[in-house]
Amino acid sequence: MIKTKEDYIESLKKQKLNVYYKGKHVDDVTTHPALIPHINAAAKTYELALRPESEDLLTVTSHLTGKKISRFTHIHQSVEDLIKKVLMLRLISHETGSCYQRCVGFDAMNALYSTTYEIDEVKGTSYFKRFVEFLKYIQSENLMVVGGMTDPKGDRSKRPGEQSDPDLFTHVVEKREDGIVIRGAKAHMTGSINSHQILIMPTQNMAKGDEAYAVAAAIPLNAPGITLIFGRQSNEERKLEDGIDAGNKEFGVVGGEALIIFEDVLVPWDRVFMCGEIDFSGLMVERFATLHRQNYGGCKGGVSDIIIGATALAAQYQGTANASHIKDKLVEMMHLTETVYAGSIACSAMGSKTKSGAYYPDPLLANCTKHNITRNIYEISRLAHDIAGGIMATLPFDQDLRSPEIGKHVKKYLASVEGVPTETRMKILRLLENMTGGTCLVESMHGAGPPQSQRIMYQRLGNLPQKIKMAKVLAGIDN
């Protein structure tokens, strides 16, 4: 069982994933400088579970075994569980300032738990029993699971079964006595190069003709036929350097996303949790999306706390902290942060029990939370850029600062408030640059679905007819 950071790293060393970075095979993900920050961020979830002051948020008693487990392997059993999840995410963000990657798998497990129960209820299948056994295994070993929903999708005007290349959506190519064979890919998978298992799910609502694409299953990431291609990130080359230019060198930028390729991968039947049930694919997508959108006020709220602190420091270091407009902008950043956090708490507090007994956030409020993220994080970052100034984008290299020939010029001309070393000022500006640009913002926009996905849910869940009816009553309109 994985308990410590060291246990976690050793488990990654042993599993020997087929990972590529910049076209070259990575023999050991735990020693590659571009991957280490993401491993460190995920490892923090194991470390915090061992601290007495955070144990209550990071651990919980399993409703299946009665044993103490990581909350990241837990199925929500109450509204309190949903709220503690959000509190936990904000806490870990304070420690890492980055994505710690276990949320997607966490949400996938909760989505599958409730959905498989309801599939079995209607279809007479045994998916729920299979999934519970898988979940017990994950809990007992404290493994890291990556959720695999997003497919490349190809021509988005066509359904999965209409694509000229069927592999652009992950699908079943063969059903055998010992299991199913799958082919395709999952894109943008957060934490995949340092996880142990992947839970694949349908990427969208399926229709007649899409049966092969309505598949959910658990697969070890070192299974034969799986290849992981690590994605580029903003300033990723800086992780290969020494010095301060990386900004957040210990924990990286976002979540170490990868493209995961499945080339005729065999999945035993006891790890298959949906296979052809197109009428339940939409429910599974909605369950996962709601659970994942619930998170963002917690994790992004925590990250925004760091951005606010770094912005305030940048203002202090350059002597503008007492200006009224700077104070007002910092207050606005706090307001935006607490607004998204309040959304996560609200959708959790308004959560309800599913047929399986697991609890589920209020879907309308969860979508509202994520939609606010797609706006507020950009505004928080814009205000950080406004306060920090243009120097954040044009700082000299760390090597310039340390150069025997020109270092003196960097120190002299980038000096600011007396008593604050130039290097200190550069450190906080690099951290801000790292946390407020490029990959970070794109992830805030598209992680858990782009804004249009949430607006579609508003149309479905907003109950416009009821709002019209209430208005008619008050206006005295009878028809």
Task: Point out the residues that are catalytic.
Answer: 99, 103, 190, 257, 292, 296, 299, 443
At 167 the three-state DSSP class reads: helix
Is-contact 433 314, C-beta < 8 A?
no
Strands annotated E in 126-214 = 145-148, 171-176, 179-189, 197-200
At 61 the three-state DSSP class reads: strand
Is-contact 89 302, C-beta < 8 A?
yes
Distance of CA 259 to the CA centre of its chain: 15
Contacts 24+ apart (CB under 8 A), 122-128: 122/280, 123/277, 125/277, 127/272, 127/273, 127/274, 128/356
- What is the CA angle 13-16-17, rounded to 5? 120
CA R_g for the chain:
24
At 71 the three-state DSSP class reads: helix
- What is the CA angle 68-74-79, rounded to 5? 110
Distance CA 466, CA 299 (A): 34
Q: Strands 226-230, 68-70: parallel, antiparallel or unpaired by DSSP?
A: unpaired
Burial of 96 per CB tally in 10 Å (0-12, 13-18, 19+) = buried
Distance CA 393, CA 433 (A): 7
Q: Measuring CA to CA, how many Å separate 396 from each of 38, 318, 383, 406, 434?
A: 26, 17, 23, 11, 15
- What is the CA angle 217-354-140, rounded to 5? 50
Residue 235 — φ and ψ, nearest 5°? Answer: 60, 25
Helix ranges restricted to H, 124-228: 127-141
Kindly tell me the sign of the dihedral angle through the C-alpha atoms of 212, 218, 223, 229.
positive
Helix (H) or strand (E) holding 333: helix 324-349
